[in-house]
Amino acid sequence: MKILKITPWTIGCATDSEDTLDFRESVFSQGNGYMGVRGYAPEGEKKHGFERSTFLSGFFEYIKPGTTDMVNQPDFSVFRIALNGSDVSAYTRTGYEETLNLKDGTFTRRYIAADEQGRRTKVETIRFLSMDNVHTAAVRLRVTPENYDGELMLETGIDGGVVNLPISDDQLTQNVEVAQIWGPIARHSSIKAGGLTAETAYSKRTVSMEYRLDDHGGGYAWLPVLDKAFAGEKAVIPVQAGHTYTIDKLVAVYSYRDGTAPSQQAAHTADVCRQRGFDGMLEDTAKAWEALWRTADVEMEAPDDWQGAVRYNIFQLIQTDPRSDPYASIGARGLMHGRYKGCYFWDTEIFMLPMFLHTDPQAAKNLLLYRYHTLKDAVDSAKGFSLPGARYPWMASDTGYEQCGTWDTGCCEIHITADIAYAVGRYLELTGDDEFFRDCAAEMLIQTARYWTERFTYDPVEDRYNLLFVKGPDEYCGVTVNNLYTVWLACENLKAARDAVTRMQKEYPQEWKALAEKLAFRPEEPAAWAERMDKAVRRYDEGRRLWIQDDTFEKLEPLNPADYKEDDIPLYHKISYDRLQRYQVLKQADVLMLMAMCPGDFTMEQKQAAWAYYEPKTLHDSTLSFGIHALMAARVEQREAAERYFEKSLFLDLQDVMKNTAREGIHTAALGATWQALIFGFAGLWIDSDGITCTPCLPKQIRKMRFHFAYLGRRYEVRIDEKGAVVEALEE
């Protein structure tokens, strides 16, 4: 779907056709890490209460025992407009334009609404969610009757009449039953000010939203509208040809997660917004964005659509990251869609975190702190699986308890625990954050290592440890044995725990005493970890220089993907999941994924052998696959493949590559994979205990590239052109 116009700093669209509406609403999603809204029109029609979605980071509610959903929040964007007695939606629209500005985060819509008598009205809305104060947002409406004098009826406020449409974890099942999450809603409105406090029926979790209206001195006769779940007001405004009527709605949002008295905080902040006004708030958010771009931008001499799409990927990641909140993470569809019930996966630590780690280490730390804060639940969960230590859930929400509803993935895709340990290790390696090591990481590494100790099964005949009943990143491998990716990272986890114990004993004896006591640590534990590290089964075929994905992979029935796959739509729509799992095909990168994450552990020959063997068998039925293949292609010097895969990942949502952006929202892991392909693949940057290396391999579309990264408390700039790379430390 190529309906978007991409410039270096904007994503635009000039069509408002009904069949592209959901797609545009996904692509034009906005957020500030605290809250997110889909790119719907403030004055658009409300067909179902779940379609106009607004989400708050970390705000979940139970929809059945033990299972949560990300809660669709009251809609603060809403404007109802009637021109000369008829709702604006009944008018013919021309000159339609939508623009998402990546520089300041504004989303602008413009069109001319014309009625049968030829009366033309210019309508414009601008919305932003402030990056300066993430509790605030603003919507501006501008209406200009071009050729008539008449009447404009406006109604606005906050609409609590919203519901959830919980989505099944099974990608093939569509739910139609909505869930009424909200219980009582307290509403109030006076002149140009009002708000509501809604409370979830089950857990009594509250949100308070306050609005203030600025009618630019219009002095209109506003009347309160307190209707069912709606708190707002309306005015009938006589309008004259050629005049523009501007109404700003300034909004403040607080929830039970923000401490006591959210309604008072919202009211106070809304008053502050009123003082600052729309333009002042816009100035503040633009400045905040400018600061974010200073560290996160990747500037390229490249076609405009490549530059704009690269920025779009970064922009969406920043928009959906709860940045300064260490109690929430980033969902697989961020704050842009309720798919996967808003849950957090390995997508965060393995796909998205690297960008934050290299550009905003504090944001990366907060993502890891979320895992630290849910460690006690992970310990409790492990007990539920009759295992010691900590078992992180495949799908997590506001707790560390498993949210995945399917047995094979929920119980067997256990690499998530090792992924978190890997991310902790990368964070420590790149930041040298001793405090985080001492206060959080050591405990996380030890508890996760304990889980692996018993998750491996000893085989006395072979004197080896097997990892049974496991599912790797390639979810088409069935439930298998000794998935290389999982075993490798589990062993890394065990090693990191052993090193952490040694380091704690040496560098922090006091703190170690307390931690060892808290965890009832036994001195013999590291030896048990070492034994598993040494004897865990990892299959390697010396003759072929090939690392084997798992014990059953080579027994599967061969399938030529080209015989079945004509496009990028996942094959599980054509072949049943059950059958797919017995074919020798991969859903997404698995051994190659491991090699992308641990480049120093494998030789070039091994990487090339893995590429030659696995790439032709990979279906890329997950959006997580393209970017990692681009990265690996660049590393094994497969330039054509690198470009081809990169383009898929880069434009994944902008061109609706998988044909599900409309119904599922933006794929946040793919955004992160795109960044990794660009920086770790094309720019060839890699930082580990050996320091910084940068060996670029630019595709023909990128002539020059410039970006920043952070390493051990310093900032660096990388400049790449046809002559090679220059890495320079920046003066602070």
Contact footprint for ligand BGC (CB under 6 A)? 332, 345-347, 473, 475, 587-588, 622, 624, 669
Of 234 and 471, which CB lies nearer to ligand BGC in the complex structure? 471
Unique residue bearing structure tokens 């497969």: 638
> How many other C-beta atoms can be found within 10 angstroms of the C-beta atom of residue 604?
11
- Cβ 350 to ligand BGC, closest distance in Å? 9
Candidates 702, 709, 704; CA nearest to 720 is 704
The token pair at 349 is 């630590």
Of 206 and 622, which CB lies nearer to ligand BGC in the complex structure? 622
Contacts for 68 with CB less than 8 Å, ≥ 6 apart: 60, 61, 62, 341, 342, 397, 398, 403
Q: How far is CA 568 from the centre of its chain?
A: 21
SS in 3 state form for 23-37?
A: HHHHHCCEECCCEEE
d(CA 272, CA 212): 10
Of 137 and 593, which CB lies nearer to ligand BGC in the complex structure? 593
- Cβ 410 to ligand BGC, closest distance in Å? 12
| Radius of gyration of the CA atoms of the chain, in A | 27
Of 27 and 624, which CB lies nearer to ligand BGC in the complex structure? 624
- Cβ 391 to ligand BGC, closest distance in Å? 17
Kindly give the residue spans of alpha helices, DSSP state H, lying in 57-115. Answer: none
Amino acid at 732: E
User: How distant, in Å, are the alpha carbons of 218, 232, 276 from that of 267?
Assistant: 23, 14, 14
Answer for the pair 12, 98: CB distance below 8 angstroms, yes or no.
Answer: yes
Kindly give the residue spans of alpha helices, DSSP state H, lying in 556-667. Answer: 561-564, 577-580, 591-597, 604-614, 625-635, 639-650, 661-664
Three-class DSSP category at 213: strand
Beta-ladder partners of 199: 206
Of 592 and 669, which CB lies nearer to ligand BGC in the complex structure? 669
- Cβ 171 to ligand BGC, closest distance in Å? 7
- Cβ 642 to ligand BGC, closest distance in Å? 21
- Cβ 606 to ligand BGC, closest distance in Å? 23
d(CA 364, CA 641): 30
- Cβ 409 to ligand BGC, closest distance in Å? 8
Of 443 and 475, which CB lies nearer to ligand BGC in the complex structure? 475
Kindly give the residue spans of alpha helices, DSSP state H, lying in 19-132. Answer: 21-27
> How many other C-beta atoms can be found within 10 angstroms of the C-beta atom of residue 263?
18
Of 248 and 475, which CB lies nearer to ligand BGC in the complex structure? 475
Of 537 and 569, which CB lies nearer to ligand BGC in the complex structure? 569
> How many other C-beta atoms can be found within 10 angstroms of the C-beta atom of residue 48?
10
Of 465 and 488, which CB lies nearer to ligand BGC in the complex structure? 488
- Cβ 331 to ligand BGC, closest distance in Å? 9
- Cβ 592 to ligand BGC, closest distance in Å? 14
Contacts for 90 with CB less than 8 Å, ≥ 6 apart: none
- Cβ 593 to ligand BGC, closest distance in Å? 9
Of 169 and 615, which CB lies nearer to ligand BGC in the complex structure? 169
